[in-house]
Amino acid sequence: TYRVDRMRDVKRTGEDREGNTEFKKIDMRTYTQRVFSMFSGEEQLVQIRFINPLLDAVIDRFGTDNRVVQYVKDGDRHFIMTAKLAVSDQFFGWLCGLGKKVKLVSPTPVVEQFAKYLSDMREMYE
């Protein structure tokens, strides 16, 4: 991933672009839904439980394409979203921003990774 906004002195060479075939295969909408703040990570199929009032915000972030994301009611006050996301510290930070209104449910290794992230952050302030 290259940050075009951070490039300087970019000049056109007139040469054909490298990676054109690969570029055409990228679905930019899906890519931006999976990646947080341009920080990539290992893509994992994750389940996250949200309170119902967050549904609009979650749909704004992840969309409604059922090939990419699924939403399932979980009782009267919650829903669970399942999607393949790039797991990174930026993703964990996004979860933290939602506080107790959200809970990472699965897979277990990602939940454990998030718990360690939280523990490491807490240690900085002890």
The pLDDT of residue 37: 45
Q: pTM of whole model > 0.75?
A: no
Tokens 């990228």 correspond to 26
Helices within 26-76 (DSSP H only): 28-34, 55-62
**55-111 pLDDT tens trace:** 999 998 888 888 889 999 999 999 999 999 889 888 999 999 999 999 999 999 999
**What is the per-residue pLDDT across 6-42, written as a single tens digit (0 to 9) for each?**
677 778 888 877 777 776 766 655 555 445 544 466 8
